[in-house]
Amino acid sequence: MTLSVTNSSKKYSVSIIGASGYSGVELTRLLLQHPHVDLRELYAFSQAGKRASELYPALSCTKIYKPYNGESESDIYFLALPHGEALQHVPALLMAGKTVIDLSGDFRLKSVAEHEEFYKQAKSPDAVMTYGMSELFHEEIENSRAISNPGCFATSIILGVAPLFFGAENSFKVRTINCTSTSGISGAGRSSKTELSFSEMSENIRAYKVGVHQHIPEIMQALGTSATTPSFDFIFTPMIGSLVRGIYSILNVKLDNPAAIEDIKLCYRNFYKNAPFVRVRDTMTEVRHVSHTNFCDIHIAHATRSGSLVIVTAIDNLLKGAAGQAVQNMNIMLGIDETTGLL
């Protein structure tokens, strides 16, 4: 690991590849106000030649989007590209000694077979980075210069059940997780699609990619198992609803060993006591509680004597599910307070 902040005025040059999409513009906004960042270049393909403020007037950024042609002058590169495209650029950046944080799914999975099955794209076995779930892999992130940022659905689900798998108590035995997660339309990206238009999605909600969503193997991998040989039964129903941003996950968990709800809440509070962006709430969380923030809110809603749990989580898919978590990971890599630029 080569990055470290040695004084409060130290700044690193940062560029974004794929800066004109929804995650890219959130990255731009966060990095423009970050005290340790000198935001250099905004690279975009279809929007090249336009000013950022022309595309996003609220951004008040006069930088012009440029096509990316392999430049490597900055210290840190964020990539916010469609799946499959980061594989073309990251190896050269790493070879040039740059620090890379990728927001796509190109480098998340260790299993090539699972990547090819769920992403329908080929990749080499060495195309794997440190998985950037800030609350679970802090030390690994701290010592890495190549981070694969988690997916948005995956973030809301993994954080919602991680204490049951990795808590100090380590006494819970998960048999089944049945999850229904609803995402805002922005999760599909900025490209124009008829099925995501206002007339199609207003007052509407629908399930999609049931059983085949690309975040399934990512979730299983982070929880210490795999999608092909799982140690527990996992059912995931992703949905898209008529909200712009946010993810709302309902996690129905079945334990082999029932526990009192207060014991479960205590486990969660202990597990996340040093996690500044995870809030274990006593009352029901809502998307509006976390919108435009980097928080993940968790509520243990119900527990039965037979071992059934209902856990509810909420995040902003563009921040904790993408750009915010990416900046949080950068802060950890720099060795500064992970909340810097995010509160």
pLDDT for position 1: 45
Residues 333 and 145: their CA atoms lie apart, in Å, by 7
Residues 210 and 213: their CA atoms lie apart, in Å, by 6
pLDDT of residue 65 exceeding 90, the answer is yes
Using one digit for the tens of pLDDT, what is the confidence trace for 97-126? Answer: 999 999 999 999 999 999 999 999 998 888
Catalytic residue of the set 61, 152, 267, 296: 152
DSSP state of 207: E
User: What average pLDDT does the segment 196-208 reach?
Assistant: 82
Q: If you write DSSP's letter for every residue of 177-240 in order, what string do you get?
A: EEEEEEE-GGGG-SS--GGGSHHHHTT-EEE-STTT-THHHHHHHHTTS-SSS-SSEEEEEEEE
pLDDT for position 169: 65
User: What average pLDDT does the segment 223-233 reach?
Assistant: 94
Overall CATH class of domain 12-149+322-334: alpha beta
DSSP state of 334: H
CA distances from 174 to 62, 135, 164, 264, 301 (A): 51, 20, 7, 13, 17
- Whether 83 and 119 have beta carbons less than 8 Å apart is answered as yes
DSSP state of 147: E
**Cα angle 56-58-64, degrees, rounded to a multiple of 5:** 45
Q: C-alpha 300: how far from its chain's center?
A: 22
User: What average pLDDT does the segment 284-297 reach?
Assistant: 98
pLDDT of residue 24 exceeding 90, the answer is yes
Which residue reads 């480098």 in tokens? 107
And the tokens for 172? 């819970």
CATH 3.40.50.720-classified regions of the chain: 12-149+322-334
pLDDT range class, residue 294, cuts 50, 70, 90:
very high
Q: What is the mean pLDDT of the chain?
A: 93
- Edge to edge, what strands does the sheet with 37-43 contain? 37-43, 12-17, 76-79, 99-102, 146-148, 130-131
DSSP H or E run through 79: strand 76-79
Strand partners, 324: none
pLDDT range class, residue 2, cuts 50, 70, 90:
very low
61: annotated active-site residue: no
User: What average pLDDT does the segment 21-47 reach?
Assistant: 96
Amino acid at 94: L
pLDDT for position 193: 73
**Which residues, at least 6 apart from 170, have a Cβ–Cβ distance to it below 8 Å?**
none
Which fold is adopted by the domain 153-315? Dihydrodipicolinate Reductase; domain 2 (3.30.360)
- Identify which of 309, 185, 321 has the alpha carbon closest to the alpha carbon of residue 250: 309
Residues 280 and 282: their CA atoms lie apart, in Å, by 7
pLDDT for position 168: 73
DSSP H or E run through 323: helix 323-334
CATH 3.30.360.10-classified regions of the chain: 153-315
